[in-house]
């Protein structure tokens, strides 16, 4: 197990060591946490291109020491003006690959601009320098990209523009082979020189839309021109005396708060970590929150989500009382994509940023927009075609979003920044990490390393399995099966659990950073 890295002034954590290094480079250059976070975000879009990119979305949670305020930015895109269920007449669902899955405008570039303008010290051009350098000159092909390319090689070959980038010379690059993205480098240079509007209202927009339309896509220039992200009020709750923050819907963040509200009704002092009771209670509490989430989560501009009820301690107590301490409940859910990238930054002034971004599935839609090098997300494929469904497809609508960066405050100040890759697994892994850190006083590295679980369906599976890492004791596994959980034991340290990161700020203001051994990340502090 890796040890938490400790910094006295700054800390950067991300799922790729080069992205963490990019954030540190910007801090050393005189940037603050907000500048560094955008640099990390852009760098992840280059060095983890199977997980995230400028054709995708992002959600941000901030603490500004100057303002002593917590804010959030919703960097997710809306569906196009022409996005209606009629466009998919005769299909049981929206395809999750190909041009028909390209329904929403990417929101990430807008979020970079908004954050830099609101809080940054440096220019967008300056914070994009590391990303441009890695795209233009290359970087070592990561093990994670290799595994995911191998997994998706057949679908990638169906898209010539995409395979020419991600399967250079018609093959999967070797681990640590230099990987270059010249077209993406040129696009990032254009953004550095011309700014946000070049992506949404400029000649780059025309090139993106023209390519998508030639392929049969529905997005038009007005969809991009009318895009805007939103500064939003974070959701908050309490857990064991800590104040917990999540981004609001269309994010699933409230499901994480609901699970903690339920768990607060149980005395973890009497529950050994890693025991049957621990895994059973976490799983059952999360199932309860998922049942409500699946009924109501969508764009809040289209549906009034009853958050006051869902986040009330009274409601949580009722849900807790409905949990059997010995038997698993039967709950159905729908499969979601699980490929995202979370990162966090804290600077010496005390500014803190927790953020997450995604293309949704690995390689998103698998559609590259012409010669731009931009891989388009398939987030819109999660819309329902059922007109009675709360998340039914409609024009200019944001879909149910899994992305949920988190923070925990103690005595009015940031104490823990945390998050993870993993779609349906995000609230599950977050709940495991935060209970380990708060209830069992683990360091970030310990909390992340300890055996994890993920419940739910992935694409192609007909049942809701509870996947549990093979390091969990045989006795606990047997008890979970006896209780009625449909357990599948996976690898001792399994990538399906996602790549988590966390930063803890202690009473001395030292910064403890932890990253996931399941990924390629690094915690860098000084």
Q: How many CB atoms lie within 10 A of CB 299?
A: 22
Q: Which runs of consecutive H residues, i.e. helices, occur in 8-139? A: 17-28, 33-47, 108-119, 124-127, 129-137
Cα separations in angstroms, 216 against 101, 106, 211 = 11, 18, 9
C-alpha pair distances (Å), 138 with each of 54, 178, 181: 18, 5, 7
CA–CA separation, 492 vs 481, rounded Å? Answer: 18
Bridge-based pairing state of the strands 339-346 and 11-14: antiparallel
DSSP letter at 79 equals B
Question: To which residue do tokens 């995230």 refer?
Answer: 52
Considering the candidates 340, 399, 420, 429, report the single residue annotated as catalytic.
Answer: 340
User: Can you say how many angstroms the Cα of residue 199 is from the centroid of all Cα atoms in its chain?
Assistant: 22
DSSP code, position 16? B
- Main-chain phi, psi angles of 165, to 5 degrees: -90, -50
**Helix ranges (DSSP H) in 307-365:** 307-310, 313-321
Q: What's the chain's length in residues? A: 526
Supply the Cα-derived Rg of the chain in whole angstroms.
Answer: 21
Rounded Cα gap, residues 515 and 2, in angstroms: 8
Alpha-carbon gap, residue 520 to 337, rounded angstroms: 20
User: Which long-range contacts (C-beta less than 8 Å, at least 24 apart) are formed by 462-470?
Assistant: 464/331, 464/332, 464/333, 466/283, 467/494, 467/496, 467/497, 468/279, 469/493, 469/494, 469/497, 470/494
Q: Look up residue 401 and give its two tokens.
A: 């979003």
- φ, ψ of residue 357 to 5 degrees: the values are -145, 160
Query: What is the layout of strands, in order, in the sheet containing 5-7?
Result: 5-7, 511-515, 500-505, 413-420, 406-410, 242-246, 235-239
Task: Order the strands of the 453-456 sheet from edge to edge.
Answer: 453-456, 465-469, 487-490
Answer positive or negative: Cα dihedral of 162, 164, 168, 172: positive
Tokens (6 digits) for 231: 């500064």
The Cα–Cα gap between 496 and 467 comes to: 9
Active site residue 333: no
Which position has the token pair 């006083």? 441
Which residues have a catalytic role annotated?
A: 340
């Amino acid at each position: 197990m890796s040890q938490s890295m400790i910094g006295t002034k700054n800390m950067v954590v991300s799922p790729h060591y080069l992205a963490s290094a990019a954030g540190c480079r910007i801090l050393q250059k005189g940037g603050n946490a907000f500048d560094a976070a955008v640099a990390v975000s852009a760098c992840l879009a280059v060095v983890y291109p199977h997980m995230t990119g400028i054709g995708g979305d992002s959600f941000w949670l901030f603490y500004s020491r100057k303002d002593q305020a917590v804010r959030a930015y919703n960097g997710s895109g809306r569906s196009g003006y022409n996005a209606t269920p009629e466009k998919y007449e005769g299909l049981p669902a929206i395809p999750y690959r190909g041009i028909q899955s390209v329904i929403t405008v990417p929101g990430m570039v807008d979020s970079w601009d908004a954050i830099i303008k609101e809080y940054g010290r440096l220019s967008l051009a300056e914070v994009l320098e590391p990303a441009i350098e890695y795209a233009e000159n290359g970087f070592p092909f990561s093990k994670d990209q290799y595994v995911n390319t191998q997994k998706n090689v057949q679908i990638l070959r169906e898209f010539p523009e995409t395979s020419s980038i991600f399967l250079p010379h018609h093959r999967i690059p070797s681990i640590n082979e230099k990987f270059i993205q010249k077209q993406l480098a040129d696009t990032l240079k254009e953004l550095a020189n011309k700014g946000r509007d070049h992506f949404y209202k400029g000649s780059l927009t025309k090139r993106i839309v023209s390519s998508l339309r030639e392929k049969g896509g529905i997005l038009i220039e007005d969809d991009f021109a009318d895009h805007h992200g939103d500064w939003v009020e974070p959701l908050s709750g309490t857990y064991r005396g800590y104040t917990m923050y999540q981004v609001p819907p269309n994010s699933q963040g409230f499901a994480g708060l609901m699970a903690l509200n339920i768990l607060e009704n149980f005395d973890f002092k009497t529950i050994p970590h890693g025991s049957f009771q621990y895994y059973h209670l976490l799983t059952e509490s999360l199932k309860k929150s998922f049942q409500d989430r699946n009924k109501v989560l969508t764009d809040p501009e289209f549906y009034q989500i009853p958050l006051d009820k869902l986040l009330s301690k009274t409601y949580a107590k009722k849900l807790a009382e409905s949990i059997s301490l010995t038997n698993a409940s039967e709950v159905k859910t729908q499969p979601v994509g699980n490929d995202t990238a979370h990162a966090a930054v804290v600077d010496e002034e005390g500014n803190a940023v927790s953020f997450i971004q995604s293309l949704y599935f690995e390689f998103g839609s698998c559609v590259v927009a012409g010669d731009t090098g931009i891989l388009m997300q398939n987030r819109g494929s999660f819309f329902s075609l059922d007109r009675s469904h709360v998340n039914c497809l409609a024009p200019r609508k944001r879909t149910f979003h899994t992305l949920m960066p988190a923070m925990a405050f103690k005595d009015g100040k940031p104490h823990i920044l945390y998050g993870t890759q993993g779609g349906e697994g995000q609230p599950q892994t977050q709940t495991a990490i935060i209970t380990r850190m708060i209830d069992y006083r683990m360091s970030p590295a310990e909390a992340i390393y300890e055996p994890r679980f993920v419940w739910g369906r992935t694409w192609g599976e007909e049942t809701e399995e509870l996947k549990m890492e093979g390091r969990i004791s045989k006795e606990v596994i047997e008890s979970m099966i006896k209780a009625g959980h449909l357990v599948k034991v996976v690898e001792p340290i399994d990538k399906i659990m996602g790549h988590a990161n966390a930063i803890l700020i202690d009473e001395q203001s030292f910064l403890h950073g932890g990253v996931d051994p399941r990924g390629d990340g690094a915690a860098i502090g000084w």
